[in-house]
């Protein structure tokens, strides 16, 4: 067996199940889960119709590169959304459909890491655990950059030692972040591109929450925006990951894309050809419909705004928590240990949240997720409001 498997840590939800084992929440209370970041808003009906209308494609072997129509739709969306000049993104070279960002992030790491180079995979801390697992199974060492409130819940990239950048092979970004919801500023992205050039590493920008934001007039910038402003038409060392899961409430479609550096994607395509992860044609055609429509995405944001407004109004003065830059998470500070808070909240109020320490790693005696919890506002508005009221009662009873 691969010995690297023994280095993998349990997933946060496995730890959470163990933490809550034996707790007996009130039977009369309906359970409310704010733990798993699974979108619960209705999926767009026109996407389901497109999927159904193309079921004859079940008889077709899909290609790993994907159909031109999908790659063209994705390239056009990137141009509109991130202000990339027309023609810079060649759909045949700079875009690759993937079966959701989770699969792509893992496979991409196996492609890029040189396991003979004593390399580092650098990521924010807290982080999406795929970054860590992918690094370990690729033969690299994870290196964690704390995301603290003092720095806006973003890593302090200026404090990273030169020897870390020298060993870095992949820098993972998540913007807006999971679980903090923090956005990496555009100027910071530009500085990181310069560092990638200087030290020859790849920036892997996980932007799966990029379409969940609050100001309709100011969509958050992404790594492609930075490339456009830098005149970087080859997108060298820059790769972005996007998905329809959060943007379009289609987690079960398993549809996303990777875009950026053509030379890196050429190698990634080779890896995926052997990996056997081609997206079914009917899924690709349904995805085309989703990427071409923004009305359902704006409606999606409206629903999240309503939930954030309602929940934050209830929790004001009760918990130390702030509106994030984006995503659908609240990153709340707890008055007691985060694990004790989660178990007590579940046992007394039948509400499930995730301890922040389960989403982070302790480095030099500090766990940046300690005394915080992640709340995913994915349930319907009424449930989110009820959960907030229960949380308020729980905190007031401590």
Same domain, 288 and 318: no
The residue from 262, 293, 324 where one domain ends is 293
365 CB contacts (<8 Å, ≥6 apart)?
none
The encoded tokens of residue 378 equal 């994915």
Give the percent of the chain with pLDDT over 70. 100
Rounded CA gap, 214 and 352, in Å? 25
User: Cβ distance 166 to 117 under 8 Å?
Assistant: no
Same domain, 225 and 120: yes
Residue 89 DSSP SS3: coil
- Return the residue matching tokens 């496995």: 14
pTM, 2 dp:
0.97
Same domain, 68 and 99: yes
Give the percent of the chain with pLDDT over 90. 98
In a domain, 50, yes or no: no
- Return the residue matching tokens 């100027």: 187
The CATH number that applies at residue 357 is 3.90.1150.10
User: Cβ distance 101 to 279 under 8 Å?
Assistant: no
Closest CA to 35 of 340, 397, 328: 328
What mean pLDDT do residues 91-108 have?
97
Confidence of residue 25 (pLDDT cuts 50, 70, 90): very high
Domain that includes residue 8, residue range: 3-42+296-396
pLDDT at residue 207 in the model = 98
pLDDT at residue 5 in the model = 94
Strands of the 95-98 sheet, one edge to the other:
95-98, 256-260, 238-243, 202-206, 168-174, 120-125, 141-146
In a domain, 52, yes or no: no
Rounded CA gap, 111 and 203, in Å? 14
DSSP 380: -
In a domain, 56, yes or no: no
What mean pLDDT do residues 148-177 have?
97
**In terms of DSSP bridges, do strands 354-355 and 372-376 run parallel, antiparallel, or are they unpaired?**
antiparallel
User: Cβ distance 137 to 4 under 8 Å?
Assistant: yes
Number of folded domains in the chain? 2
CA dihedral sign, ordered 10, 369, 176, 327: positive
Same domain, 316 and 288: no
Q: Across all residues in the chain, what is the average pLDDT?
A: 97
In a domain, 54, yes or no: no
User: Cβ distance 347 to 23 under 8 Å?
Assistant: yes
Same domain, 246 and 303: no
What mean pLDDT do residues 2-22 have?
95
Same domain, 35 and 86: no
pLDDT at residue 348 in the model = 97
Rounded CA gap, 178 and 161, in Å? 24
pLDDT at residue 42 in the model = 95
Residue 306 DSSP SS3: helix
In a domain, 190, yes or no: yes
- Give pLDDT tens digits for 165-203: 999 999 999 999 999 999 999 999 999 999 999 999 999
Same domain, 116 and 187: yes
397 CB contacts (<8 Å, ≥6 apart)?
348
Same domain, 287 and 324: no
Rounded CA gap, 105 and 204, in Å? 8
In a domain, 261, yes or no: yes
pLDDT at residue 344 in the model = 97
Same domain, 245 and 384: no
87 CB contacts (<8 Å, ≥6 apart)?
none
In a domain, 286, yes or no: yes
Same domain, 239 and 317: no
Confidence of residue 120 (pLDDT cuts 50, 70, 90): very high
pLDDT at residue 259 in the model = 98
The encoded tokens of residue 270 equal 């080779």
Same domain, 193 and 98: yes
Residue 70 DSSP SS3: helix
The residue from 261, 293, 325 where one domain ends is 293
The CATH number that applies at residue 177 is 3.40.640.10
pLDDT at residue 240 in the model = 98
**In terms of DSSP bridges, do strands 351-352 and 354-355 run parallel, antiparallel, or are they unpaired?**
unpaired
User: Cβ distance 206 to 98 under 8 Å?
Assistant: no
Confidence of residue 319 (pLDDT cuts 50, 70, 90): very high
CA angle 239, 135, 238 (to 5 degrees): 10
In a domain, 53, yes or no: no
pLDDT at residue 216 in the model = 95
What mean pLDDT do residues 239-251 have?
97
**In terms of DSSP bridges, do strands 95-98 and 141-146 run parallel, antiparallel, or are they unpaired?**
unpaired
The encoded tokens of residue 188 equal 């910071």
The residue from 293, 327, 361 where one domain ends is 293
Same domain, 75 and 198: yes
Confidence of residue 261 (pLDDT cuts 50, 70, 90): very high
Rounded CA gap, 83 and 253, in Å? 27
């Amino acid at each position: 067996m691969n010995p690297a498997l023994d280095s993998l840590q349990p997933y946060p939800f496995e730890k959470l199940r163990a933490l809550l084992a034996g707790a007996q929440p009130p039977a009369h209370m309906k359970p409310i889960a704010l733990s798993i970041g699974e979108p619960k808003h209705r999926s767009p009906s026109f996407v389901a119709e497109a999927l159904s209308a193309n079921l004859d494609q079940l008889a077709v072997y899909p290609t790993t590169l994907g159909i031109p129509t999908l790659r063209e739709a994705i390239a056009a969306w990137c141009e509109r959304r991130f202000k990339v000049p027309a023609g810079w993104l060649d759909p045949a070279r700079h875009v690759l459909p993937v079966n959701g960002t989770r699969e792509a992030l893992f496979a991409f790491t196996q492609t890029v890491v040189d396991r003979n180079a004593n390399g580092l995979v650098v990521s924010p801390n807290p982080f999406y655990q795929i970054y860590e697992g992918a690094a370990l199974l690729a033969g690299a060492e994870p290196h964690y950059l704390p995301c603290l409130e003092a720095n806006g819940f973003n890593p302090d990239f200026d404090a990273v030692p030169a020897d870390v950048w020298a060993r870095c092979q992949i820098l993972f970004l998540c913007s807006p972040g999971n679980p903090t919801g923090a956005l990496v500023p555009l100027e910071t992205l530009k500085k990181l591109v310069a560092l990638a050039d200087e030290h020859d590493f790849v920036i892997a920008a996980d932007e799966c929450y990029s379409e969940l934001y609050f100001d309709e007039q100011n969509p958050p910038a992404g790594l492609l925006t930075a490339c456009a402003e830098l005149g970087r038409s080859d997108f060298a060392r820059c790769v972005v990951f996007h998905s329809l899961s959060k943007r379009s409430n289609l987690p079960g479609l398993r549809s996303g894309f990777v875009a950026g550096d053509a030379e890196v994607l050429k190698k990634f395509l080779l890896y995926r050809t052997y990996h056997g992860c081609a997206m079914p044609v009917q899924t690709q055609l349904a995805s085309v419909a989703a990427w071409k429509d923004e009305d359902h995405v704006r409606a999606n944001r409206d629903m999240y705004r309503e939930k954030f407004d309602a929940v934050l109004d209830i929790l004001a003065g009760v918990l130390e928590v702030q509106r994030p830059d984006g995503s659908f998470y609240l990153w709340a500070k707890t008055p007691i240990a985060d694990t004790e808070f989660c178990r007590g909240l579940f046992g007394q109020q039948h509400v499930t949240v995730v301890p922040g320490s389960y989403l982070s790693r302790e480095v030099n005696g500090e766990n940046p997720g300690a005394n915080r919890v992640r709340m995913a506002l994915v349930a319907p508005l009424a449930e989110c409001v009820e959960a907030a009221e229960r949380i308020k009662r729980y905190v007031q009873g401590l």
